[in-house]
Structure formats: structure tokens, C-alpha cells
Structure 1
Amino acid sequence: MKKEFPNFPLLEEDVIRLLQVIGFVRDDSWHNEICPSFLSDSGEWKLMVDHPVRSCREFNCNDRFSLYQLEDDQIISHEPILSAENVEDFSTKFSAWRDTKKIQDKVVKPRRSGFLPDGP
């Protein structure tokens, strides 16, 4: 992060703990992006962590923490899946989203047989 964003402040301890707990430990920061970013362990998700001071952000309408889905190492949509201004709110939203996603992933969708059953 410091190599790609040398003027960006160091991440606070609570932010570093959050990244570790939720599994975003791989720094994916690149100087052509607007802020530092971190990849999930699975490589499916990218968390952008913007400047703590809103007026110092390139786009000051963005929340500080924004989560995006990746496909082939590219962000699928420029609309974040979820976002929050502070670490506590992001942690709460992320936990609820992750729990919902786990439930959705376990739901088995019925298969269509390709034929209609015989009538009475």
C-alpha cells in the first residue's frame, strides 16, 4: 500500500484487525486506482479502503469502505455490493451479508426434468 499510495495515511489498528478477521489480507493496491484495496482469500471480492478524511478522497461522495465482486480479476460492477463510512458499520454489514450469502449458497435449486408428469 505504501509503495502505491505513499501519501496515504497508514491504516488504523481497528481497520487492520477487520481486514484480518474478514479475510482481506492480500494488498492489491495499484497506483492507477483511487485508493488502496485488498483481496479476499478466495480472490472473488475486492475491498477498497478510501482516505479516512472525506474531503481528501478523489470522489468524496463515496463511503470509505466499499466491497466489489470480481470476475477474472476485474470488478464486475462499479456499484459496490456494500459500503459503509466507518469500520464498525462495515463490519456489521459485512457479517450480515456474509451470513446471508452462506445461506443462499446452500439453497438447492430444483431441477427441471424436461417433461410433464402424466395426468390422472
Structure 2
Amino acid sequence: MMSLFKGLGAAAIVLAAITWGGQAKADCEDPKNAFDDVYCYSKLYIEADGDLNKAYGELTKLLSKDEKATLKKGELAWMRARNGKCSKQEGDDNFVDLDCAVEETRHRIAFLEERTQECKASKCQSSKLGD
């Protein structure tokens, strides 16, 4: 599990599912304690991240070189915004709200899938790729 969050630094990593309700919780089968919650949310995040990578890859197949560069800039900006919204650092500890991360990732998947449908239906709208 620690290897998933190498980028958070060498400090102790604490995963926190701050929101106890929500969609991610509904997808888990009867967690018994906070450790079960973290495990469950981690699985959901890994699944959502895989779906995100798939959606991103599908969209890039339809884009020109310049459009891919625009999409990449948008993706990096989205990652910074997600990280700012769903994580925080206190001293040497890093906290990640996995429910937030799952929700934000699912929203991004929907965004990428919408762009893919636009590209397939007509012409890709380059102006939206940087969002």
C-alpha cells in the first residue's frame, strides 16, 4: 500500500477516509473498523484510477499531437486541484481523504468520457481538453 503513495514523501503516511458516508462507502461490504474502511477505500481508489487511465488512453487515441499536449496540461492541472482538495500535510504526516479522491476521480472519468464521445460524434473541441 505504501508504494501507491511514494510521491507523498518519506514521512509517515496516514490515509484518512474523512467522510464516513458517500458513494465509496456504499460500494464496500460491511467494514468493521477504520482499517477496514481504509482498505476498502483504497481498493475503490485503485479501481477508479485504473478506469481513469483507460478513459484517458481512449481519448488520446482520437487526438492530434497538439490536442494531446493540451489534454496533458489539463490533466496535470486537474491532479493538482484534486490533491489540493483531497489531501493535506501536517508536520511529517500526510492525510489523504480517499472518499474525496474516489469521487474526484470518478468526475474526471466522466469528463474524459464526454470528450471522447464529442470526438467520436463530430470533431474534438480542443478548447475543452485543457479543462
Say whether the fold is shared (TM-score over 0.5): no
- Determine which structure has the larger strand proportion and give its number: 1
- Determine which structure has the larger helix proportion and give its number: 2
Question: Could you say which structure has the greater relative contact order, defined with CA pairs below 8 angstroms and 6 or more residues apart?
Answer: 2
Q: State TM-score, norm by structure 2.
A: 0.33
Max radius of gyration: which structure? 1
Q: State TM-score, norm by structure 1.
A: 0.35
